[in-house]
Amino acid sequence: MDSQIYGVSNFKHLIMLMFLSLMITRSATLQDNPVTKHPTSPQINSNSVLVALLDSHYTELSELVEKALLLQTLEEAVTVHNITIFAPRNEALERDLDPEFKRFLLEPGNLRSLQNLLLSHIIPTRFGSKEWPIETSRIVQHNTLCDGDNDHLVLALHKTGEKLVGLGKLIRPDDVVRPDGIIHGIERVLIPRSVQEDFNRRRSLRSISAVLPEGAPEVDPRTHRLKKPASPVPVGSPPVLPIIDAMAPGPSLAPAPAPGPGGPHHHFDGETQVKDFIQTLLHYGGYNEMADILVNLTSLATEMGKLVSEGYVLTVLAPNDEAMAKLTTDQLSEPGAPEQIMYYHLIPEYQTEESMYNSVRRFGKVRYDTLRVPHKVLAEEADGSVKFGQGEVSAYLFDPDIYTDGRISVQGIDGVLFPVEEKAPAAKATPVVKVAAKPRRALAGKLLEVTCRMLGAFGQDSHFSTCH
């Protein structure tokens, strides 16, 4: 009896152990198999502060949030904690903002700066107007959603009783209140230090000096030697030596560099400027092939740096990547072909989009000298822009003023230019003259013969030597 009870008891324990092991194995299988998972993605309801922002009267801010691709980032932030948005009024973003700074923010290469600017207006906590400091000597600092170092928001009370958000005033406290956040209206745009530094670095390109050269000594282009000691020239005068001679000075004396304020030898640092404009091409996007040819495939970048160091100016017509992709292997396989193609896109003048457009509008067609002597590139006005080249080999000014620093100007075009080869007309007049001369001479001989016979009949042919 006791043995049966113990047997039943052991059998029950065995069944329980088997059941537990089966449950453990099933749970482990579910954890290892990602297909059986059903994670809960964050859901934003219609009463969210983000939905209220997109439907609010802060239309300029909501458009920038969509352009900066920040909706997913803000949705994740709202699911973790409440947020507070300090929204600038539409006039602050539309009219009060510097146009150059706004253009900088909307460029595709500066997406990170735009995101940091918008995230610096959002703090990851709920902060209502009643929680503002009530004493002028007390300030409250909050970290923002911006990734930059030392990017925090200072909330304080002014002596006049106005509530301050950084350097801006709070004009619409608690404008939108939702369970997951609050929107306050502020007077101006808050610009973080990191974004301002990026803008200053892009605008000024710190290593570039925009002072014009003072001019080079007078040089004889035939012998490449100084004619006489250099005489004082006005500041900003162009170099005396033609740019073609400066490219290949020959075995004689090379032209002296133009005096200037930069560098230990008091001349311009052209190599640094060329590096800066090539870096600008890469950051701008769509001109990687052009930069690769200048740096890797040829030594044109070094030659351009030397020219700029000597005080010369250049305008680069840069074909974009789509245009460069249309070049065939035959066009690039000949020795020196890449250099010749690029030389035809270098104009030894400083031209901007505005100056070229004004010229073609005034004169109709303008021919610019190129470094591919003696070929010139034709420019004319077409469809409100500048068109280069003739016939099928033409290109439009596509991206104006990619880089302009006073000596190097880069203008993006949508095609690769080639010079038009002029052919001498064939001489077709010679056979026509020969064919027409024979009947005339035969007719004249017959008339002379008839005339002499008539004179002979009257006995007067002896007076005319031609009849003999």
Is the backbone of residue 131 left (phi > 0), alpha (psi -120 to 50) or beta?
Answer: alpha
Q: Are residues 437 and 370 in the same domain?
A: no
Mean pLDDT of the chain: 77
> What pLDDT shows up at residue 213?
56
Residue 283 lies in a domain: yes
Ranking 204-218, 422-436, 444-458 by mean pLDDT, the lowest is 422-436
> What pLDDT shows up at residue 263?
44
More confident residue, 433 or 163: 163
For helices 270-284 and 300-309, give the axis angle rounded to 10 degrees. Answer: 130
Which residues neighbour 187 within 8 Å (Cβ) at sequence distance 6 or greater? 88, 89, 92, 168, 169, 170, 171
The predicted-structure confidence for 24-69, as pLDDT tens digits, reads as follows 455 444 444 443 333 444 566 788 899 999 888 999 999 999 999 9
Residues 393, 410: contact at Cβ < 8 Å? no
Which residues neighbour 60 within 8 Å (Cβ) at sequence distance 6 or greater? 88, 90, 93, 94
CATH classification of the domain holding 383? 2.30.180.10
Q: Are residues 283 and 166 in the same domain?
A: no
Q: Are residues 319 and 408 in the same domain?
A: yes
d(CA 132, CA 445): 121
Mean pLDDT throughout 145-152?
Answer: 72
Amino acid letter for position 178: R
Residue 426 lies in a domain: no
Residue 25 lies in a domain: no
Res 402 pLDDT > 50: yes
Domain that holds residue 442: 432-467
> What pLDDT shows up at residue 378?
93
d(CA 190, CA 86): 9
Peptide bond into 229 cis (omega under 30): no
Q: What is the DSSP-derived secondary structure letter of residue 33?
A: -
The predicted-structure confidence for 281-305, as pLDDT tens digits, reads as follows 888 889 998 888 888 888 888 888 8
pLDDT band, residue 158 (cuts 50/70/90)? confident
Q: Are residues 135 and 240 in the same domain?
A: no
Residues 302, 294: contact at Cβ < 8 Å? no
Q: Are residues 197 and 95 in the same domain?
A: yes
Residues 353, 386: contact at Cβ < 8 Å? yes
pLDDT band, residue 455 (cuts 50/70/90)? low
pLDDT band, residue 270 (cuts 50/70/90)? confident
d(CA 289, CA 191): 35
Res 136 pLDDT > 90: no
The predicted-structure confidence for 191-241, as pLDDT tens digits, reads as follows 888 888 888 887 765 445 455 555 666 677 777 777 766 566 666 677 766
Q: Are residues 61 and 184 in the same domain?
A: yes
Helical segments of 205-299, H only: 243-247, 270-284, 288-292
Res 447 pLDDT > 80: no
Q: Are residues 200 and 348 in the same domain?
A: no
Report the share of the chain in percent with pLDDT over 90.
23
Residues 208, 188: contact at Cβ < 8 Å? no
The predicted-structure confidence for 59-100, as pLDDT tens digits, reads as follows 999 999 999 999 888 988 888 889 999 999 999 888 888 888
Res 108 pLDDT > 90: no
| Structure token pair of residue 80 | 């973790």
Q: Are residues 57 and 192 in the same domain?
A: yes
Res 251 pLDDT > 50: no
> What pLDDT shows up at residue 88?
93
Give this prediction's pTM. 0.39
d(CA 319, CA 289): 9
What is the number of helices (H) and of strands (E) in the chain? 17, 16
b/e string for 91-130 if b means 16 or more Cβ within 10 A? Answer: ebbeeebeeebeebbeeeebeebbbbbbbbbbbbebbeee
Q: Output the CA–CA distances (angstroms, integers) from residue 455 to 461, 464, 468, in the order listed.
A: 5, 9, 12
Q: Are residues 240 and 353 in the same domain?
A: yes
Q: Are residues 397 and 462 in the same domain?
A: no
Split into its structural domains, the chain has a count of 3
Residue 258 lies in a domain: no
Q: Are residues 241 and 387 in the same domain?
A: yes
More confident residue, 426 or 131: 131
| Structure token pair of residue 362 | 């005034």
Look at the block and give the residue holding tokens 């075995």. Answer: 251
Residue 376 lies in a domain: yes
Residue closest to 97 by CA, chosen among 168, 34, 1: 168
Residue 32 lies in a domain: no
Phi and psi (nearest 5°) for 447? -65, -40
Residues 156, 136: contact at Cβ < 8 Å? yes
Residue 123 lies in a domain: yes
Write down how long the chain is: 468
Residue 58 lies in a domain: yes
Residue closest to 392 by CA, chosen among 409, 415, 369, 376: 415
> What pLDDT shows up at residue 141?
86
d(CA 213, CA 9): 104
Q: Are residues 380 and 292 in the same domain?
A: yes
Phi and psi (nearest 5°) for 440? -65, -45
